[in-house]
Amino acid sequence: MGDYLQQYGVSEERRNRVIKWIILGCLGLAIVCWIFYLVFHNYSETQSVKQFLAQVNAHNYPAAYSDWGCTVAKPCTNYDYERFLRDWGPEAKATSLWTVANVDGCKSFVTVNVKANGAELQSLAVQRGSNTIMYAPAPECQEPQWHWKAFFHRIFGGGSGQSSSG
């Protein structure tokens, strides 16, 4: 009779452990998928801007202008090639290479701020789906959204070193 009571509840404990590991595994998978989405949601649009900046930095202005969605032979109506060269060419007075400063995703486009020493910060918008580059209406997305990067930056590091009371 002692052997019978020793096995009492063992299968229920094992079932509870399996259920616990399944729940923890699903929760972990959901967290990994969420992080993957946050990191790669604006990836293709950011790569389009990086390709554009690489061509500008290499002084390949006709190719950069075509990334803008225009060509030298058929310029854009509101942004001709001469204006493009004033903004991005040697007249832009950039003393260093153009780099991506930050990225902010909206529903229909991604705002990518780019900078170079000696030049003003430029806010570019990349249309989702077509990856067409244009000037952004604002340096940040104006739609209401949760700023995950800023949230985690405040929690896990990069503080100003000052404590606030209140």
Q: Which two tokens stand for residue 67?
A: 């990334």
pLDDT at 162 over 60: no
Q: Give the pairing type, strands 122-127 and 109-115.
A: antiparallel
> Taking the alpha carbons of 151, 123, 127, 137 in that order, is the dihedral positive or negative?
positive
Q: Which domain holds residue 79?
A: 41-142
| In-domain check, residue 154 | no
pLDDT at 19 over 90: yes
What is the side-by-side strand order in the sheet with 99-105?
99-105, 109-115, 122-127, 133-135
**How far from 85 is each of 80, 82, 141, 159, 160, CA to CA, in Å?**
9, 5, 27, 40, 39
Task: Please state, in angstroms and rounded to a whole number, the distance separating the CA atoms of residues 20 and 129.
Answer: 41
* Tens digits of residue pLDDT in 152-161: 767 787 544 4
Would you place residue 100 in the very low, low, confident or very high pLDDT band (cuts 50, 70, 90)?
Answer: very high
pLDDT recorded at residue 158 = 58
| In-domain check, residue 161 | no
The mean pLDDT of 56-61, rounded to a whole number, is 92
pLDDT at 92 over 50: yes
pLDDT at 58 over 90: yes
The mean pLDDT of 39-43, rounded to a whole number, is 85
Would you place residue 163 in the very low, low, confident or very high pLDDT band (cuts 50, 70, 90)?
Answer: very low
pLDDT recorded at residue 164 = 38
| In-domain check, residue 120 | yes
For residue 126, what is the DSSP state?
Answer: E
| In-domain check, residue 164 | no
**Same domain membership, residue 123 and residue 101:** yes
